[in-house]
A and B are shown apart, each in its own frame.
Chain A
């Protein structure tokens, strides 16, 4: 029997840990592991009705299958199938051992060829190229269509995504496909640092080009929290000019980890007199839920709740901590100018709770695309077989009562990514945010 873990995370990062885990010849502590996972859910799930699932019956149904599992991978599949009955995010098994193609691998910590992608329609488009990465060295550009990886056509790789119907929100299918497609492609692109991967693209002229790209460790500060895999934390900060010539700060980070706080604080200090601030959370899958209160406090001067985490026997408010002190330890006024948040289908969990909370307080305007809809605060435990079990222990409801799980955050202005805009070097959601900052400032000056 395992003891329960303590770190409360609001992250969909679990969903991004894709495949590690050598198939075992036997299933060490198989039933013990199954029972531990089942018991943790029984004892900690925030909803005593288990989202309408007969949890006792689920145990009776799946336990014989767990007992019959002949490999660790099979055991994990059985547990995952049981957890899938809950129909909720933030239930995941992270394998303790290293890899097979049938299991999922840790994206964070693995080397990549230095570019990111999104699924747009049935196209896998390059959306961002690391300035110093292997792809940049090979001239890869945003907007290029990824057509094959290691000689294997991408179209065939992602085709099954259209064969599975997803329930829920009207665009849930697209969001699920977007996440799964990204995950499939990233898993295929990732590998050992220094290894090479052949990627075939359709470039901006429509020509097919193949590049042999060196994989390198992801940029960023490596952070390891407990048993979770190492994550590479990046904070970006730049000053942009709006169409009307105003200045705006654009600050982004890729995961909600404590190490983000200081550079974010420094960035806000830098932009304190800017006409607007844009917080870029595109592709940010979440992280430490406790950070919501501190980051929100840079923009809200009152200790008011962004939302409430509803647990089985208690409710806790995510109350804003107004940040009245600069990084240098000096008293400052909270930033009161226009604040925009950029999100997309890979913005999950803590990013959604933050964005949804700020939106519900009418403090921000949200640009981009609907978020992941995976917004359950969770904890992680070590199971008897060594796997890490991430499990939801709370539900998050924004200040205006909006439940984000399944629904996600709906942008105030939907600005989809297109191949054309990427090829032209434009960042359409950011541009829309900068236009809005101008309009807000114009209102204020009238």
Chain B
């Protein structure tokens, strides 16, 4: 769950910081009906669904995830190379609502959200914007709250492709293919079973860009073990998000309401 909403938060940060970069959000693993399982490329490798189920168990178990209907995260953003810093707050709620607020020093407040129908963003550089076309499709896909359960029902297929190394640790590489052919990749730690990161491409009005995220520093919040550090790399640029507070089932639904400027655009 956390890795899912963290990546949504990056979309905002990148829209601001990496100025020409399109919104970059997470590839997904979603809830409910599993995608058609496939045999791993190497018969010695565990099946993708087995790897994902192991991650869920290592994180606290399916019941613990299902007991969560909303989440609030607060933390900081740093870009070590150029000294930029800021704050981030992420709210997400079942079934697919999301609202993210970034505040970067020298830039200002950047907002992004999805209320189940309208995907939007507001930044002091570009003004209020609505996502349309492929971008809206991706945001809709990415905003599924239950995707955190790691059951990729929206994917056409999932498969384990190899045992490799990611961030210096042995991982299983799982390839998730959407209807239409777009592919996301996730990495799961061989030893702990926890998700270690992901790779994917996302699109907005500027074009398509690839990103890699690495998650770490899993910490227990309530009944769930969640990553508190995410390193996102886009075009060689790394941003680090560190979350100090993660709270479940306390989100005010009002945070997902469209801002006045977005409502005016929707009219």
Instruction: Report which A residues bind B (CB closer than 8 A).
Output: 2-9, 43-44, 223-228, 257-259, 261-262, 265, 288-291, 293-294, 297, 303, 309, 311, 314-319, 321, 323-325, 329-331, 377, 379-382, 388, 393-394
Contact = CB atoms under 8 A, between A and B. Distances in A.
Given A7-B18, A225-B105, A293-B125, 18 more contacts: A4-B81, A7-B79, A8-B17, A227-B82, A262-B124, A288-B125, A289-B20, A290-B19, A290-B20, A291-B19, A294-B125, A316-B206, A317-B206, A319-B205, A321-B205, A325-B265, A380-B82, A381-B82
B177 to A, nearest CB: 22
A-B pairs, top 3 by smallest CB distance, nearest first, are A290-B19, A5-B82, A225-B106
Contact of B108 (A227, A259, A289): A259
A226 B84 contact: yes
Contacts of A380: 82
A225 B81 contact: no
Nearest to A10: B19
A202 to B, nearest CB: 41
A8 B18 contact: yes
B126 A294 contact: yes
B81 A382 contact: yes
Interface string B121-138: 001111111000000000
Contacts of A303: 205
Interface string B84-111: 1100000000000000000001111000
A394 B20 contact: yes
Contacts of B19: 7-9, 288-291, 377
B205 to A, nearest CB: 4
21 contacts: A3-B81, A4-B237, A5-B82, A7-B18, A8-B17, A8-B18, A8-B19, A225-B107, A226-B84, A226-B85, A228-B82, A258-B107, A290-B126, A291-B125, A291-B126, A293-B125, A318-B20, A321-B126, A321-B127, A323-B127, A331-B267
A343 B259 CA distance: 36
A317 B205 contact: yes
Nearest to A323: B127
B260 interface: yes
A393 B21 CA distance: 13
B127 A4 contact: no
Nearest to B128: A325
A227 B80 CA distance: 10
Interface centre among B18, B81, B259, B265 (most CB of A within 10 A): B81
A9 B83 CA distance: 15
B235 A311 contact: yes
Contacts of A258: 16, 106-108, 123-125
B238 interface: yes
Contacts of B79: 5-7, 226
B20 A8 contact: yes
A5 B20 contact: no
B36 to A, nearest CB: 32
